[in-house]
Amino acid sequence: MYFHRISVFCNKLLALRDRRSAVFIGSLMLTSSLAVASPALAEEKIYDSDTIEVSVALDAKMALVTQNNAWFGEDVANIGVETDSWAEFSAEPQLQVSLPNIFGGELYGAVSVVGSKTFGESADGIGAGLDDPGEVTLEKFYAGWKREFDDGNFVELIGGNFDYQIGTGFLIIDGGNDGGDRGAFYLGPRSAARSSGLIRTKVEDLLVEAFYLQNNPRRDSVEGTLAGVNMEYDFTDKIKLGATYIRVVDVDGGQLGSVAEELSTYDFRASIGLTETFTLSGEYAFQRGQDFFQGEGWYIQAENRFESLPLSPTLTYRYASVSGDDPATSAYEKFEPLAYGFTDYGQWYQGEIVGNWIFDNSNQNTHLIKLAAPVTSAVTVTGAWLNISIDEPADLGITDDDFGNEFNIFVDWEVNDNLFLSASAALTLPGEAAKQFTGGNDNWAHFLLFASFSF
């Protein structure tokens, strides 16, 4: 059934009558096809000398999505439109320049643009009613300088629009904005923080970073300027610790408005390899400010690789909790996500359906069991079960905390160093909380085909 619906939807795309949409998506696809077809473009370096190195890169993505009973059968009531199938496309060409031996280090920079497009109505609802939204925007535009010393030590400075990640991406990884009139909400091709700065140094096993980031999240979180310090220390190759302090210093938007200007986030994390195959990890963050903010978020995870079993599968269990607000108190207990993003299946988009289309990373308690097995050196199959409950039902205007159970399966194929293909299916069985929150009671099914090409 779902394969048939995707086939029908692809035929609709081929029959597009809107000339502007056809030209836009044609340019994205032409960019990708030229990169694949031309061996010369597959080489990253286009100029290399003793004084300068110039490289090009490309990241092109496509997603075809079809769903049944979106929003548990009440899509119009929740996002204002019917949604069942849509397609997303994006392409990011990039130019990189490096100059060695500048003040004893390397001076480098990069510039890129992102073109994105959505055909059809996406289940996120942010672009509801827009006619095939899409946009071309400046993405990366930065310069940096790095000097390396013996034993891997270094000092580095970066300024402009650039990507930055802390730890597992629980706090900081995606500072860009997608969806709405830009389209491509699921692909999320924009991730760079804007007009930002980063200073970092590594001395033996200690990494220290100071940052200033212009954050522009996709959902109603803090839109504005974040400043802070991050530290990571590797006791051994199996024991790693991290700590981060983040302060909101300026607010441009978001549901909290200027109140968030005194929001501070404190974060502590650790990963410990107890054996060659078994790892424990966890993270705890709390938020304070103005005697008002009292949000908390944390997780604990156990992961084991069974090398004696066929295919050497890896089993993961994780419990994650991000607090919601209790309307009966004067404090604000909801954990405010800052710039979280994708790092692994089920990590911070907690569930392909619930995590992508319904909730941001807040007001949830989630059990995750995930099993991943490499079928071949290029193909990996992953299955996951998530049990999702609401931390503070009253924050959503409901009375029950059982949101439901979600089942995910992913088949990933690394065709070569440049091409990656993936298929995924998901099913969410609504609990009483989901029924109260959305007004629907049908099982929500989701199927997706994804492709990316990069060099």
User: For 230-273, what is each residue's pLDDT tens digit?
Assistant: 999 999 999 999 999 999 988 876 666 666 778 999 999 999 99
Q: Tokens 């080489």 belong to which residue?
A: 43
Q: Are 265 and 171 in contact (CB under 8 A)?
A: yes
Give the pLDDT confidence score for residue 255 in this predicted structure.
62
Give the phi and the psi of residue 443 in degrees, each rounded to 5: -70, 135
Mean per-residue pLDDT, 77-104: 96
pLDDT digits (tens, 9 = 90+) for 426-450: 999 999 999 999 999 999 999 999 9
Helix (H) or strand (E) holding 134: strand 134-148
SS3 33: helix
Average pLDDT of every residue of the chain: 89
Residues 6+ away with beta carbon under 8 Å from 172: 164, 165, 166, 213, 226, 246, 338, 339, 340
Measured from the Cβ of residue 258, the count of other Cβ atoms closer than 10 Å reads 12
Residue 169, beta-bridge partner list: none
Q: For residue 152, give both structure tokens.
A: 């891997």
Q: Are 239 and 273 in contact (CB under 8 A)?
A: yes
Query: 46: phi > 0 → left, psi -120 to 50 → alpha, else beta; which?
Result: alpha
Percent of the chain with pLDDT over 70: 88
93: closest CA among 169, 34, 170? 34
Q: Tokens 């089942």 belong to which residue?
A: 407
Q: Are 212 and 157 in contact (CB under 8 A)?
A: no
Give the pLDDT confidence score for residue 253 in this predicted structure.
64
Residue 187 CA to its chain's centroid (Å): 9
Supply angle C-alpha 279, 390, 323, rounded to 5. Answer: 65
Give the pLDDT confidence score for residue 84 in this predicted structure.
94
Q: What is the pTM of this model?
A: 0.88
135: closest CA among 64, 75, 183? 183
Longest dimension (CA), the chain: 67
Written as one letter, the residue type at 246 is I
Give the pLDDT confidence score for residue 216 in this predicted structure.
83
CA-atom Rg of the chain in angstroms:
22
The CA distance from 395 to 398, in Å, is: 8
84: closest CA among 14, 12, 21, 28? 12
Three-class DSSP labels, 396-426 = HCCCCCEEEEEEEEEEEEECCCCEEEEEEEE
pLDDT digits (tens, 9 = 90+) for 207-235: 999 999 998 877 667 788 999 999 999 99
Mean per-residue pLDDT, 22-31: 41
Written as one letter, the residue type at 267 is D
Domains of the chain: 2-454 (2.40.160.100)
